[in-house]
Amino acid sequence: MREHEVPTHVQAEDRVLLGFTFPQIVAITAVCALSYGAYRYAPVGPSEIRMAIAVLFGLAGIAMVVGKIGGRRLPLVAADLLKYRLGARVYAGPVAQLVRSEPPAPPQPVKSGPGPLRLMAKRSKRLLRRMRKKNRKDRDRRDGRMPFRPHTWFGKRRKRGERGQRPGHMAETLESRRRTPGRGGMAVLVAVLVAMAATVPQAVVFAQSPEDERWRDEIDFEIEEPVEGRRIFVEGLTVSGDRASVTLKAATDIEVRVRAFGGSEGTSLRFWGSATLAQGERIDYSLPLHGPVPSFTVSWEDTLNQAGAITVDHDRIPYPLPESEGELCTVRLKSLGWALGAVNGVVESECVESIEHPVELQTVAGHESVTQTALIDADVTQITGTVNAATGASSVSVAFVPDGETAFTLSVPTGEAIHAVSVDVRLEASLSVPIPPLTVLTHHPERAEEITETVSLYRPGASDSDSDSDTITVAHEDGTTTTHTVSAYAHAHVPATTIDKDVTITVVHPEHVKAEVVEREPVAASRDEPLNLASHVGSDDPHAALVVPEPEPEDPPADQTPAGGLRELFEGLGWEWPW
């Protein structure tokens, strides 16, 4: 009893000639025949043009028969393209955007009709029928019936001298010997139909096959099953200013490419980088943030020749960082980021040294009282407060650092999520308010007042002297005169003395108000101010190494046992060897 080993690759097609299979040889033969027919019977131009058409047609047909794209036959690729262009689309957005505001209209019943292939066949039959009728009419116009000449369909034509005329038939005229346009058009149409029949059957069969049988492994092409699992993880994301610090960790050996996008619409490429990572290796990137909706994409390709990408959109990036301006301080989030199990942030503050503070101030007291509210430049002596940060069920309170940085850390659960972070800053400032002087008014009515005072006068001493002389003529009785000169000298002296005397004066005081300015010390005051900040940051799943399944063992190549020569085959079948 003979033993024969059954081949394991029974689905493989046999290579018959020059590495071609039986269907390929038949299709190539049909394409070559059609190319020759196009050269012989195409009703266009001289022989050079028809030869070029035939060569192009043959090359295109052979390429369609034996060509491959990515290991797939061209008819199957053509079927995939037709399915992609004419088939249904898969919506890539969230399912919530597909919700209708109104219920859709009930579908109208569609009458079932013939498929596109049947319609094309009917039209082709109709066109051929018309062309036959036209040829019959042309033949009926001529005297007699056209002879059956199959040698005129293929091969060289006989020379004019070799053509004989049969008795009872008219000699062929020049017009009857010319090619009829209908015959050439019919030949071209038949060539096109045969080419479609040679190249499209696989695509048609593929399109009409059930959905679960469409994707089959082709010969020399096997689609590997994808290995499920994450290849790259985001282990940290921190935004500071207009830069984002990103930490990536590989779950297997991969090549990564990082692209950051920005601009007004978030589609402009702002950064590009690539690296090769081993399993468990980390890499840090500092990505620029630009525009209102920045994002970045991390694409990867692993050693299994599989590729993918993850995208961190602007909903997961805390950009721009919020800022709140108050009267005491201006606070802003200097940085906000996520690390494994925690959200970290830094609040930066800039505080003032003086501030206008309203004070209920009494400016006049006494005869009249005046009180008003005044804005006074107060000196800020001290600022204290707390920073309360919260996200989800986690919250923390830390002391506020004026004119500095206040850091906080919030614990968050692991896993992919978007954490909304709120920061409440409560400030209390101690103020020293300088108070202007107080004016005190005193009213005095009209009154008369007698004032008696002793007045002391000092009379200084004085002395004076004077002398004078004069001539006197004395007349005597006897009539004579006698002249005499008389001289006189006087001296007076008054000594100095003090004279005291009581004097009484009446003074009338009119009605008046007396003002007195009183200096005041600065007063202490306090000022409270709440400030709020809000942002969000996204987190990723914790790192997990990719588990690659063990490859399936490959079947050893089948060694077929030859059955022997023809003599042994005949003997095995019980036949008698005829030679």
Q: What is the mean pLDDT of each run of 10 residues along the chain (579 residues)?
A: 49 68 82 83 75 84 78 78 72 57 57 57 75 65 49 47 42 40 50 51 48 44 73 94 94 93 91 93 94 93 89 93 93 94 94 91 87 90 94 93 94 92 94 90 86 83 79 79 78 81 84 88 91 94 86 62 56 64
Of 283, 405, 411, nearest in space to 350 by CA: 405
SS3 41: helix
DSSP 233-279: EEEEEEEETTEEEEEEEESSSEEEEEEEEESSSS-EEEEEEEEEE-T
Under DSSP, the state recorded for 20 is: B
State residue 309's pLDDT score. 92
pLDDT of residue 113: 52
Q: Are 180 and 138 in contact (CB under 8 A)?
A: yes
| CA separation for the pair 302, 11 (Å, rounded) | 31
User: What is the reported pLDDT for 407?
Assistant: 95
> Looking at residue 284, what is its pLDDT?
95
d(CA 205, CA 75): 10
Q: What is the pLDDT of residue 559?
A: 53
Residues 485/471, Cβ–Cβ less than 8 Å: yes
Contact 180, 136 (CB under 8 A): no
C-alpha 127: how far from chain center: 57
* Whole-angstrom distance, CA of residue 451 vs CA of residue 504: 6
- In angstroms, the CA 281 to CA 250 distance is 6
State residue 190's pLDDT score: 53
Task: Name all domains of the chain by residue range, CATH numbers in brackets.
Answer: 12-87+116-156+174-220 (no CATH), 232-316 (2.60.40.10), 323-436+526-539 (2.60.40)
Closest to 77 measured CA to CA, from 207, 183, 212? 207
Tokens of 52: 């070029």
* pLDDT in the model for residue 15: 72
Let me know: does 471 contact 430? Beta carbons within 8 Å.
no
Cα separation of 382 and 398, whole Å?
A: 18
Residue 232: which of 183, 168, 275, 286 has the closest Cα? 275
Listing DSSP states for 454-494 in one string gives EEEEEE--EEEEEEEEEEEEEE-TTS-EEEEEEEEEEEEEE
CB of 221 closer than 8 Å to CB of 237: no
Q: Which element (helix H / strand E) includes 442?
A: strand 438-444
